[in-house]
A and B are shown apart, each in its own frame.
Chain A
Amino acid sequence: MKISKSKELSKKTKEKQKNILEMLKTHGAKIYDNLDNGQFPKFSIPSRSVSNIVYDKKLRQYILGNNSALRSAKNSSQLRSFTQLMWLAFFANRLTQEKKSSTLRDVYYSSQAFAIEFEDQSESDNIIVDLEAVTSKPREDFHIFPEERSSIFGDLNIEYTIPGYEGKPMNLSNHPDGYSIGPSLTTAELVDTSAEIVIAIEKGGLFTRFVEEQIDKKFKSIIINTGGQAPRSTRTLLKRLHDEMGLPVIVLTDGDVYGEHIAMVIKSGSANAAHLRELTVPDAKWVGVWATDIEKYKLPTIPMTESDIKRCYDLQKDPRYQDGIWKKELDVFLRIKRKAELEAFSKYGLTNITDKYLPQKLELAKSL
């Protein structure tokens, strides 16, 4: 059973890789033909300007509107970025074909070997987003990953697909520090699990505590440390755990406006990634720490800063914050103008959060 599933999934992965390569080839061939016919190559790219980012209620995420921009090699002001994008497609093509991984930073440095100039990494990062927008595929599909790593722990069997490890199984509860969510894990086949829920937690410290307290066993859960705002590889993994393994996802963050938004991005994506559709877990639930929890549990607090308050007002304009707990908690934060960290529960003992708060919230999540 297990084996067949693994094989099936592996086939799916190969299929996916083939599609990516096919798509890159199509794009390349079109430009090749243009040049061969003495024409300046051009293509259209969805506009990522603020005016073209709209919230799709059905999809429950931000998406790009219909505006697109023509990028032409004839336009001398676009020529440089056109070439950069061509190089990136070429580089991504090699990565995908050879099943090699790269990071954003690595891409930036690799460019120099091809006489492609990026002024800084943010310029190359931006071109990577362009490639995502043109292909509607996340960069991870092209084997490009961010530097920052989040981690995962719990009873989950996987099989690697990366070269040299193909088919190698691994159980993610074998190592108490957790497993870093990098390219090999993101691309691995998810085989099976005994867990019934995924708990995404904002902080490394609490992640370690949860492992120590064997939350994975006590609550049959897979614990993921998002390390602040969840990287896209982590969001991809969360989505796969939800979609492929059928696990519900809950999010536990600090009791402030940034925590609330970390949960929201996992649930419905960010405006920055409005060009991508496969990074959201619309069913993910934010369970705390809520603003109302601060009062309810009498948590020690610190006052909100100017920028915290400004962020509250900004989010009030976001269509996703117009109803439900999202709106309610935001309003309370603004009212009390104070915030609390997950560690605040230590006031009532080191295991208070795992012993008392978490069970209550897990129970509550069922009704959310």
Chain B
Amino acid sequence: MSSIKEKFNQISPSEFFYSNRDLAGFSNPTRSLYTAVREFVENALDACDQKGVLPEVHLIIKAVDPEKSDPKSYILTVKDNGPGVDAKHVPLAFGTVLYGSKFGLKQARGMFGLGATMAILYGQITTNKPVIVKSSTDGKTQDAFELLLDIQKNKPIIVKHTTKEVSKKGLSVSICLEGDYSKAGIKIRDYVYETSLITPYASITFDDPKGQKFHHPRFVKEIPPPPTIIKPHPHGIDVERIRRMIVESQFEIPNIDDVMIEKVRKDLGLSKQNLSFIAIMEKAKKKWKSLSRQVRVVISLTSFLKMDFEKLNKIRIEDIDMPNKKLFYWDFGDSQSKSVDMDPESKYYKQLTNTVQGEPLTTFLTKRFQRVGPTTATKFAEFAGFKPEKRMGAMTNQELVQLSDSLQKFDDFLAPDPSCLAPLGEEPLEKGIKKFFKPDFTAVVQRPASAYSGFPFIIEMGIAYGGEIKSGGPHVYRYANRIPLLYDEGSDVVLKVVNDTDWGRYKIKGEPPFIIVSHICSTRIPYKTAGKENVADRQEIERELRLALQYLSRKLAAYMSKRGQAEMAKKRANLYAKYIPLIAQFCTELAGKKKEPNYKKLLEEEIPIDSKKAIEEENQIENQ
């Protein structure tokens, strides 16, 4: 890991993002204000989700000078009741780019906490004000930091650090940034509103710059089960990722320094004795089984160096060249580089091979990837044209590319494990839809997990009709990993699927009062742009969306036809009520009678039965 981070440091990620801030959604004051709100709110919700805390998020936007016209400076504050950030991590977490806690493969709203740092960076660029971070991890002490970002060095500058006593855990982040609330306001309000629909277990409050308060209370008391972190699926991998995994999987050559030598001595039970090389090797042979891997490696090296502890202390291992069976080391005494040959027949040579060249391919596959067993791994090796025992560390660049390509193409891997996904669940989704739209009819569905390019995903969808829903539908509410998507709906795959639907087939005509809520959960949402606003039309995702929509549409159609029948019955009842009395009146005179016939039976008994039945059936459908 550390080597990768160093690589980035050389380019300075801060500087990179500074010059490419459009990519992350900070293109203009309107969009930037909206994006900053999103990033902080989503971080807050993610933090609570991870620790299983029912989120309470408070968003405050205040104009620095309310008299000025937009665009102008705003103070954006987001407070949560999450676990907080350890004081020692705060400067790095909020004062550098690419520092985050969200590594590992599972569903989360944001990926690496990048967006929040981008917002801080944007605020600093536009107003030159520090970010204020207040954090309490124990609910007793709160650390408050004022931080600036050193863009060239990608390092935090602590302007101020204070502590005080508090009574609640949580994090509060406050930045000053240039924004345009008069334009962004509607989107931000929509965002907060729509977020509370897909996060029914959160309580979200928004104080806007005009002094209006938008409060969305929690209406579901349970947090949906959190996702688990899992290993990657072979289909979702690329060369770079394999390279990193190999680095992670290799055992590092131990540094033979004083500490290490002390450890070896101790493990061999030779703390106070200075034995010869031969004696050391014999002792090691006896104790081999109880030795740790590290110690075994040192012993193996020693076997070729043929040195005692005193001599070992005066050299540094430079390289272990397995193909040429040579061991290079630096001799401090002679101040020069030396080498010894290694006997490939020696059992110590095998020990080094394992350490230096990494795991065999099959082990690599079964240990590092999800749902790959030994049989599949062997089959794959054959498919990819590698020997199963091929050492990962010995792969050339070309072989890595070949491996990566083959991993994509091999069809016999099991489908990705969806346990890393955290869909909302049908019940909370339905509850949310009913509360938000007060419809006459609601149906929800959660599709079984599916996958595209090795990334598992789950589609959740809900449909609602009538009631207080405005006509002119379908109105589509799009979500991805519990984030509402508000911009760029035109090119979105969900919209495509909705627009492709022939609603007439489902007895829905004209400008119907109905809404569709679509939620895509995945470890990686295939956004079309870095701004995270529209989802690309991956074939697998499109198919699942279509199936979900068809299922719901059929339910809606069934409801519509019952509703039609109920309406007909009602209409019929009205007609009877209007005309039967007239018929009674006329036939009374025709028949020469004085008293009208008792037609009330007809109106009271016969008709309600029909409509009662229709209403019952309607309810049945709704409850299905």
Could you list which residues of chain A lie within 8 angstroms of chain B, going by C-beta atoms?
A: 24-25, 27-29, 31-33, 35-36, 38-41, 73, 76, 79-80, 82-83, 86-87, 89-90, 93-94, 114-116
Contact = CB atoms under 8 A, between A and B. Distances in A.
A36 B588 contact: no
Contacts of A79: 575-576, 579
Interface stretch (B417-425, B505-513, B595-603): B595-603
A31 B587 contact: yes
A194 B208 CA distance: 106
Given A29-B590, A39-B602, A82 B575 contact: no
A90 B599 contact: no
Contact of B590 (A25, A40, A80, A114): A25
B593 interface: yes
A93 B590 contact: yes
Contact of A35 (B571, B580, B589, B592): B580
Interface in B287-345: none
A35 B579 contact: no
A145 B585 CA distance: 25
A32 B587 contact: yes
A83 B591 CA distance: 15
A89 B590 CA distance: 8
A35 B591 contact: no
Secondary structure dominating the interface of B: helix
B584 A35 contact: yes
B86 interface: no
A116 B602 contact: no
Which 10 A-B residue pairings sit nearest by Cβ, starting from the closest?
A28-B590, A90-B586, A36-B597, A35-B597, A38-B601, A28-B591, A29-B591, A31-B587, A32-B591, A35-B599
B579 A90 contact: no
B582 interface: yes
Nearest to B571: A76
B579 A82 contact: yes
B572 interface: yes
Contacts of A40: 602, 606
A90 B593 CA distance: 13
Nearest to A39: B602
B587 A28 contact: yes
Contacts of A115: 582
A41 B568 CA distance: 21
Interface residues of B, number: 26
Given A28-B588, A35-B602, A36-B599, 8 more contacts: A32-B584, A35-B599, A38-B602, A38-B605, A40-B602, A79-B575, A82-B579, A116-B582
Nearest to A94: B589
Nearest to A38: B601
Interface in B540-577: 568, 571-572, 575-576
Contacts of A27: 590
Contact of B572 (A28, A33, A76, A114): A76
A93 B589 contact: yes
A40 B582 CA distance: 13
B583 interface: yes
Nearest to A35: B597
Nearest to A41: B583
Contact of A83 (B579, B597, B598, B606): B579
A94 B585 CA distance: 14
A86 B591 contact: no
Given A29-B591, A76-B571, A87 B586 contact: yes
A19 to B, nearest CB: 15
A73 B571 contact: no
B575 A76 contact: yes
A368 B387 CA distance: 118
Contact of B583 (A24, A29, A35): A35
Nearest to A116: B582
A31 B582 contact: no
Contacts of B597: 32-33, 35-36
A170 B592 CA distance: 36
A36 B602 CA distance: 9
Contacts of B585: 90
Among B583, B599, B601, the one with the most A-chain Cβ atoms within 10 Å of its Cβ is: B583
A13 B578 CA distance: 38
A89 B592 CA distance: 13
A36 B583 contact: no
A83 B601 CA distance: 19
B200 to A, nearest CB: 44
A87 B581 CA distance: 12
B602 A24 contact: no
Given A35-B599, A36-B597, A115-B582, A28 B589 contact: yes
A90 B590 contact: yes
A73 B586 CA distance: 14
Contacts of A24: 590
Contacts of B606: 38, 40
